[in-house]
Chain A
Amino acid sequence: MGISTVAVGSGGSEAQKAQEGAISLWNFMLVAGQLVLLLLLFRQFQIESAAFLRLAVLAFAGFAIHAFLPLAYRLPFFALLSLAGIGLVLGIANGIWLVAIGLVLIGICHLPLSFRLRMALLILAGATLVAQRAALVPFTWSEAIWPILGSMFMFRLIVYVYDLRHEKTSGTWAQRLAYFFMLPNACFPLFPVIDYKTFRSNWYDDDAYRIYQVGVDWMVRGVIHLILYRIVYYHLTLAPSEVTGPAHLMQYLVANFLLYLRVSGLFHLIVGMLHLFGFRLPETHNRYLLASSFTDFWRRINIYWKDFMQKVFYYPAVFALRKFGTTNALVVATLYVFLMTWFLHAYQWFWLRGTVLFVWQDILFWAILGVLVVANSLYEIKYGRKRSLGKQARTWRDTAKLVAKTYGTFWFIVVLWSFWTTESLPEWFAMWRVLGGDYTFGVLLFPALALAVIALGTIPRDSGVRNVRASAMAANDWIRERAITMVAMLALIVVSVEGVSTSIGPQIATFVHSLRSGQLSRLDTAKLERGYYESLLAVNSFNSQLWEVYSKKPANWLDVNSANLKRFVPGFTRNELIPSFVSNTKYGTISINRFGMRDQDYAEKPAAGTYRAMLLGASSVMGWGVSDGQTFEALVEQRLNAKPPVPGFARFELLNMGIPGYDPPQQMVMVDRAVEFGPHAVYFVATGREISRSVRNLVTATLDRLEIPYPQLRKFVQAAGIHADMDEASAVKALMPHGPQILATVYGYIADKARMHDAVPVWIFLPQVRSGAWEEETAETVRIAETAGFVVIDMEDIYRPHDYTKLRVAEWDDHPNAAGHQLIAERLHAELIARRPQILTTARTP
């Protein structure tokens, strides 16, 4: 093993060449030790996915070998490691397909033909892939590879071809494979546009140990960004319908923008990981919250994108147009860059999502930002901008001016960003009406925090020079950076230990616990539950965890809405199960009886000596995801009949009236039907967010101009003043304060209806097979059910001791699977037995 702490580069003596990339054992142990801590950090905070953790283990283990290989073998090793990473994440078959398609594309670039002919072939190959991605032309590989294949080639191929055109040497095959298939990309569809020349020229262009250490620093920084992102994602984001005043508006704007921390976090992780293999790549972001102008913002946020646009589009446009005057060329070229950014954003969307993106807020965002950057650029051409090689000397006046400019830029960007990411333009415009609302001291919170961050951030640093080689850093600076990294890592690991956070206090423990997982937020869980992600048009969704869950779902995935089990019916219920219908799904047979219930056939009234209960609920009750006979309703019925728990009933019948998608208000219609079957009990199965879903149901009915058949519900709609011409967020906002009373009315109706027909009303809480975000309304919902006079069976904790990922159909479909239904049946049966005097009563004579 060589010893080298000297900045290295190509050329030089043989001895020096031999030392290139060398690292002492001590320094290697330092780095390796930190990587072990990093793995622990990834695990403790469940950073990204399980696939990422596996990839990180592969990467760090690969680093340990790579660091001691002769330099000539390192790139081929990295390329092979990257291919292994693809197989590890996507599976062998998918990996082979992805690599094969990639090799064809790279191979075309190097055919012994003229450049024009090669480009024509490349365009033809690209067009074929486009047609396949759009499902116009069949393909034999899995859909799962499209986002990663797109991510690897959609931009890097453009950069590569540009360099092929202009460079004398295009590198070796190891460099090409390493560039296109680079290791972290297997896990991340959202990936920085790494420049090919930089990728090659910066490889081991500095002391190896220093390159690796910077990589570790950046990975830690990435983790910190991702944890900050979780604070924002779980605790600060608001839905537009929740913005009820100026203070909420400030929170909404800032939190919405800060969701970008996910992108900056991931990019730091990715580029940091690449440092471990000698790629001394530049920073991806530069304190983008501290941009003091629109051009400054463009230069600080996603620097790799800015460099890509500059190289491939901006400079060629300027040089082509400068005969019309440099300023004119600059203006046109800048607008061209923003036009291309819009187009390539849509192009990226197509590869990652398989659909075309064309929404006005996306077009307008880039147009507005483009015009602002042009205006700023013209100003800079005329007046210049301040630069410094060392610590900037500033007067108080200069500092105040800079803080004011930065603050103004921040808020402008934040507002523009909210416009860009809104899912509904009418909702966005309607949201601003809250500025006419009540102003409290709370409205100052986020503006004050932003000002504090900006003021601290504008304290002059030691040097205005960025991306310096680590070996050129002053010793004190180097030691300080190491200390920060180690302290940050250790502090995060320590605080993530449950015993430590619990000893600080229960609220801290709960807060830390909330950051230690990659669950969906309450807002995204609600969207997933509503099937809303299908129509997600939020253009910034690439960094959304909900989008990532959705992107794993195969296009031909059968979900409850596409299974064609329902038919449209006019009126408040909208749809019902098709009577006397049988469907063979991948989960087994779904049989619907003559009454439109997913159940066996029953007589209209129970026979003498037969206990009958009607189950009301939605798709979990119906049993989406399991075959006939595997639903918890069928299993409980079997158990009760196998061993009748009460004398007086020889037979037990549970009739499954679960309808997918039904919300609590619609169950009022169902209980009207249920009592006609002469039941002894009505079991109402509630899931999460009963209040919100009730409100949304009435809002949707109003906006769709459906008649709400119950005057006791119509009065809430009238009291809230909602009407069909409102946007959804405003209508929800107006009706939500009535939510608890609406649910109380619904529950009261169902319980009273049951009692009027001598049936016992039973309320069963069955949580979703997903931890966390559905729980917020549960306590109040239980109280409402108790007040309405239900016999309450609360199974809130049913999944807690178990690994819920083994109990649900899929990550994007949290219906219980067969094992889940078994668990539910076991528990529900036990609960019914425990309450048999109240529920399995023989008091009523049929």
Chain B
Amino acid sequence: MSQEVRSNVKEFILREFLPGEDPNDLTDDLPLITAGILDSIATLKLVMHLEERFGITLAAHEANKDHLDTIEQISNLVLSKMKQEACHARQSPAA
């Protein structure tokens, strides 16, 4: 699952923001926000993609370099959110 998330995120970033760039240059630990690759508009686009693709909801304070700076961080956040949402779904009373 982790690998699937990473691949999806990497493919999205390359397609949306780095067309024509060598995919090998986009490593999992490249700091995207700190390095100026992702600005606020790009970060919001990324957030929208993650929420739509993985069915999670991010909060405003998570749209920052502590959570979305590298592909690894993004992947960890998505997985943790998916786990959280699955946990909430299990704990909700049945309809």
Enumerate chain A interface residues (CB-CB to B < 8 A). Answer: 162, 165-166, 197, 201, 282, 286, 295, 299, 310-311, 314-316, 318-320, 326, 330, 377, 380-381, 384, 387-390, 464-468
Residues in A whose Cβ lies below 8 Å from that of B66: 197, 201
Task: Return the CB mask of B2-27 against A: 1 if under 8 Å, else 0.
Answer: 00000000000000111001100110
Enumerate chain B interface residues (CB-CB to A < 8 A). Answer: 16-18, 21-22, 25-26, 30-31, 34-37, 39-41, 44, 48, 59-61, 63-64, 66
Query: Cα distance A380–B36 when bound, in Å?
Result: 15
Residues in A whose Cβ lies below 8 Å from that of B34: 282, 466-467
A389 touches B44 (CB 8 A): no
- Shortest A739–chain B CB gap in Å is 52
Q: A319-B59, A326-B48, A466-B35 are in contact. Are A389 and B40 (CB under 8 A)?
A: no
Query: Cα distance A311–B37 when bound, in Å?
Result: 17
Query: Cα distance A458–B35 when bound, in Å?
Result: 18
Taking a contact as CB atoms closer than 8 A, the residue among B21, B26, B31, B41 that contacts A330 in the complex is B41
A465 touches B41 (CB 8 A): no
Q: List 16 A-B contacts (CB under 8 A).
A: A165-B61, A286-B36, A299-B36, A310-B40, A311-B64, A314-B40, A319-B63, A330-B44, A389-B21, A390-B21, A464-B37, A465-B30, A465-B36, A467-B34, A468-B31, A468-B35
B44 touches A326 (CB 8 A): yes
Query: Cα distance A389–B35 when bound, in Å?
Result: 9
- Shortest A658–chain B CB gap in Å is 61
Taking a contact as CB atoms closer than 8 A, the residue among A165, A387, A466 that contacts B17 in the complex is A387
A465 touches B35 (CB 8 A): yes
6 A-B pairs with the lowest CB-CB distances in the bound complex, closest first: A319-B60, A166-B61, A465-B35, A315-B60, A389-B25, A316-B60
B60 touches A389 (CB 8 A): no
Residues in A whose Cβ lies below 8 Å from that of B61: 162, 165-166, 311, 315-316
B36 touches A377 (CB 8 A): no
Query: Cα distance A295–B36 when bound, in Å?
Result: 13
Residues in A whose Cβ lies below 8 Å from that of B16: 384
Query: Cα distance A319–B64 when bound, in Å?
Result: 13
Residues in B whose Cβ lies below 8 Å from that of A388: 18, 21
Q: A319-B63, A389-B22 are in contact. Are A467 and B31 (CB under 8 A)?
A: yes
Query: Cα distance A197–B64 when bound, in Å?
Result: 11
Residues in B whose Cβ lies below 8 Å from that of A326: 44, 48
B36 touches A467 (CB 8 A): yes
Residues in B whose Cβ lies below 8 Å from that of A465: 30, 35-37
- Shortest A195–chain B CB gap in Å is 9
A315 touches B35 (CB 8 A): no
Identity of the chain B residue whose Cβ is nearest the Cβ of A377 in the assembled complex: B41
Not counting A387-B17, A390-B25, A468-B31, a sample of 7 additional A-B residue pairs whose C-beta atoms are within 8 angstroms of each other reads: A286-B36, A316-B61, A318-B60, A381-B41, A384-B16, A389-B30, A464-B36
- Shortest A550–chain B CB gap in Å is 37
Query: Cα distance A381–B41 when bound, in Å?
Result: 7
A387 touches B37 (CB 8 A): yes
Residues in A whose Cβ lies below 8 Å from that of B35: 465-468
- Shortest A301–chain B CB gap in Å is 14
Residues in A whose Cβ lies below 8 Å from that of B18: 387-389
Residues in A whose Cβ lies below 8 Å from that of B48: 326
A466 touches B40 (CB 8 A): no
